Amino acid sequence: MISDYNRLSGLQKVAILFSILGESLALNLIKELDKTELRKIRAAMRGVNSVAFTVKKQVMEEFYFSFVSEKFQEEEESDEPKKPFAFLDDLTNEQLIALLITETPRVIAITLAQLSSDKRMLVLNRISEEEKGQVLLNIGNLDDVPLEAVVQIANKLQKKARQLPKTVAFSRGGGKDLADLLGEMEAEDEQMFMSNLEQENPDLAEAVKKYRITFESIFEIFPDNLLRDLMNAVDLDAIAMALKGMDKSINDKVIGVLPKKKQAMFTPVEGAAAKREVDDARKAIVSAAKQMERDGAFKLEDLLGGGETIE
């Protein structure tokens, strides 16, 4: 049994510490050990199986005082001012809102005073108008809040923040997401939904229209240069099928923007055609138009707003 503390080497002391605490906990306390050092400690642990209680106690005390002294020295040497609200920088927008939404106007005001302007507006836009007014009044009157109270509030919020669920980026819907969803529906269902939406929620319907590309609207809003690029990105047979049943002026417009070679190769679909085949061909053209927008070829808002285009 090891009973003489003074005869222990530094490696043996660390091995005893690991055997007392367990390797997992010890590694959290003693950092920056490389693999070679860890192997030496594990090997040394096999030689310190039998250690007197007084020796274990002395090892723990030495480690404790060394650990505390090091931490104290780090704090003394640090010239950086304390930042009780620094933890807010690690929160996502959703976590920040969840953290503050149930707090009093006074606490919200003190917290907003620590944030950038865009973060402040993010929170203010998610609370009621009445509460927003109270928060703004409080922001203008924070001089009388004692420092101790500010630190207490920061500590309370930091503890609360630790309990917040981890979040991932997600969409809250809106006009663009609804427009994308409608684009996946059958044409008749899409039109029926939009008709109902215009009656029940005109504001949302207008928001959807800003992001909604339909087969029919392409010929209304696309200038010739964009229409030409779009049709060149789609198979000629799909174009012919999509134009089935369309007005002659539309057919002539599409054929007119095609290159001469494709114009000569274009063959309209004669006779009856399955509605699903026509719908699928039109969806393919709409999908190509949406891809052009994602690629930056145009902005739908500009086309709907009558913005200038360059030929």
* DSSP codes joined into one string, 60-98: HHHHHHHHHHHHHHHHHH--SPP-TTGGGGGS-HHHHHH
Looking at residues 198-213, what average pLDDT do you find?
84
Tell me which of 18, 47, 77 is where a domain ends: 77
The closest of 181, 247, 176, 244 to 210, measured between CA atoms, is 176
Give the single-character DSSP code of 51. B
| Residue range 181-198: mean pLDDT, rounded | 79
Kindly state the average pLDDT of the residues 112-139. Answer: 85
Question: 13 with 37, same domain?
Answer: yes
Q: What is the pLDDT of residue 225?
A: 92
The pLDDT of 224-240, averaged and rounded, is 93
Domain enclosing residue 102, as ranges: 86-162
Q: Is the pLDDT of residue 198 over 50?
A: yes
pLDDT for residue 82? 62
| CATH code of the domain containing 114 | 1.10.220.30
Here the CATH number for the domain that contains residue 190 is 1.20.5
| Residue 167 within any structural domain of the chain | no
- Among 97-101, 182-186, 259-263, 278-282, the minimum mean pLDDT is found in 182-186
27 with 58, same domain: the answer is: yes
How far is the C-alpha of 27 from the C-alpha of 25, rounded, in Å?
A: 5
Q: Is 34 among the domain residues?
A: yes
Provide the mean pLDDT of the chain.
81
Percent of the chain with pLDDT over 90: 21
Highest mean pLDDT among 25-29, 150-154, 209-213: 150-154
Residue that terminates a domain, selected from 77, 104, 128: 77
pLDDT interval class at 243 (50, 70, 90): very high
Task: Output the pTM of the full model.
Answer: 0.43
Q: Whole-angstrom Cα distance, residue 292 to residue 231?
A: 11
Does residue 276 share a domain with residue 197?
A: no
308 found inside a domain: yes
Lowest mean pLDDT segment, chosen from 90-99, 181-190, 258-267: 181-190
Q: Which residue has the tokens 């709409």?
A: 286
Residue 88 and residue 114 in contact, taking contact as beta carbons nearer than 8 Å = yes
Confidence of residue 78 (pLDDT cuts 50, 70, 90): very low
Does the pLDDT value for residue 43 go beyond 80? yes
122 and 191 fall within a common domain: no
Position 184: which residue type?
E
Q: Does 100 share its domain with 137?
A: yes
Same domain as 303, residue 229? yes
Looking at the domain assignment, is residue 60 inside a domain?
A: yes
Count how many domains the chain has: 4
Please, which pLDDT band fits residue 125 given cuts at 50, 70 and 90?
Answer: confident
204 and 217 housed in the same domain? no
Are residue 205 and residue 224 in the same domain, yes or no?
Answer: no
- Same domain flag for 146 and 217: no
Q: How large is the angle between the packed helices 147-162 and 93-100, nearest 10 degrees?
A: 120
